[in-house]
Amino acid sequence: MGKSFDDSAREIDFSRNIHPKYIADPRFTQLKELMNELEKDYHISSKDLLEATEQNINVPISIYNSKDISALEATVRYLKENLNLRYKDIAVILNRDERTIWTTYSKSNKKLILDIDSDIDLPIQVLKDRNYSVLESITAYLKEEQSLRYNEIGKLLSLDQRTIWTCYNRFLKKRGDKNE
């Protein structure tokens, strides 16, 4: 009769949107087999496995410590220059269009050098949700996960604490929470 929806959802179809020369590579076949084994053994979807690999990417908070460069520009530039990721990979990680990533990186190159020394790292998956701006996501992470006060977040990001309050409250409204 055919496969049920659940069976077909568990198989990984890597061949979509991938150039045939990559599919012919034996490492690609090995990766596909390994992913299918992990799915079967641990009952994890391929999407969850791929997202788990993204969770290891952390961005130092200090890269956002400049008024001359936007939060998205700083993030893209860090991922491109420090982690040597391709535009396509950055686009997937940040859930943005590849052309947006290229344009953002080009604009950021004309600006100052990033400070990558930081005590606090931001997990990259925090920035993936397009319902929130990059700054709203960063502010919410620092407020909720790092338990920082508005003035502390403001110092880290070189922004006024009232701007931080506004960003965080916009985040809460979008999420559906009451104002703090």
Tell me the mean pLDDT per 10 residues along the chain, length 180: 41 55 76 83 74 74 88 92 87 90 92 80 89 94 95 93 96 81
pTM here? 0.65
pLDDT of 10: 40
pLDDT of 11: 43
Distance separating alpha carbons of residues 36 and 7, to the nearest angstrom: 12
Which residues 6+ apart lie within 8 Å of 170 measured at CB?
133, 136
Q: Between the CA of residue 167 and those of 68, 161, 164, what are the distances in Å?
A: 18, 10, 5
* Amino acid found at 15: S
pLDDT of 7: 41
